[in-house]
Copies of this chain bind each other. A is one copy, B any other.
Amino acid sequence: MSGRATVPTRPPERARARELQRAAAELFFTKGYEATTLREIARALGIKSASIYYHWDSKETILFDLIRSTMEQLTAGARSVLEREPAADRRLAGIVVHHVVLHALRPKEATLGDTELRSLTRAHARAAMRMRDEYESLLLGVLEDGARRDLFDVLDVKLTAYAVISQCTNVGIWYRPDGRLSLDEVAAVHANLALRTAGGRELAASAMTPLVADAKAFHEAWR
């Protein structure tokens, strides 16, 4: 045998580290990053705070890894829509549906990217902002394309993008699985709200259903 060390039994994917991260996400979401202590995170799994350092280098690393991975998931969802849908109106609807579905399925993780960037170290914050700008530019591209082809009547491209993103992100704060509306309904309504915001025509329910089904499958299967 030559070369690098073998990885024989397929390592456990850091399962315990992920459990800790999930508990941390829950606490970061409800109490805020700064107000959450390592002792609380440890207590959620029944271990001592010092044991966290076997799995993670620092408290901030737990947060950054959460933010990075959900931002990657968000961008990957949008890209998958762009690959499959050529028309700007269906692209906008698809991106919105993905955004809403992710924030509804994983609110605790997904919301951190919008509320806790300021708690990151400078380098990590810059990396997160780059990812956010990249996602934003995908949406801006769709709006510009739709306006150029007269599918949309956009008041202002940037303001429209900000408005759409903020109302979709907001879903993560109030959505409950046992609430008045199903996830399918919430996602479909927001897609049509976004189309209204962009000055486009709403999609029929028959066009919306596959978009929502796709987004749910995409984000449930992630990782």
B interface footprint on A158-176 (CB within 8 Å = 1, 0 otherwise): 1110110011011000100
Does residue A181 face the partner (Cβ distance < 8 Å to B)?
yes
Q: Quick one: which of B166, B167, B170, B189 contacts A156, CB cutoff 8 A?
A: B189
Q: Please measure, in the bound complex, the distance between the C-alpha atom of A189 and the C-alpha atom of B31, giving whole angstroms.
A: 35
B155 touches A193 (CB 8 A): yes
Among A31, A34, A119, residue most surrounded by chain B Cβ atoms (within 10 Å)? A34
Give A121-168 interface residues, CB cut-off 8 Å to B: 155-156, 158-160, 162-163, 166-167
Nearest-CB residue, chain B, relative to A185: B156
Q: Which residues of B contact A119 (CB under 8 A)?
A: 32, 35
Q: Given A35-B119, A197-B197, 5 other A-B contacts at CB below 8 A?
A: A32-B119, A160-B193, A162-B170, A166-B167, A196-B197
B31 touches A118 (CB 8 A): yes
Q: Please measure, in the bound complex, the distance between the C-alpha atom of A193 and the C-alpha atom of B167, giving whole angstroms.
A: 12
How many interface residues does chain A have, given as a range?
20 to 34
Does residue A186 face the partner (Cβ distance < 8 Å to B)?
yes
Q: Please measure, in the bound complex, the distance between the C-alpha atom of A124 and the C-alpha atom of B123, giving whole angstroms.
A: 36
A30 touches B118 (CB 8 A): yes
Name 8 A/B residue pairs within 8 A (Cβ), A-sorted. Answer: A32-B118, A32-B119, A155-B189, A159-B181, A159-B186, A162-B174, A163-B170, A193-B197
Give A180-223 interface residues, CB cut-off 8 Å to B: 180-181, 186, 189-190, 192-193, 196-197, 199
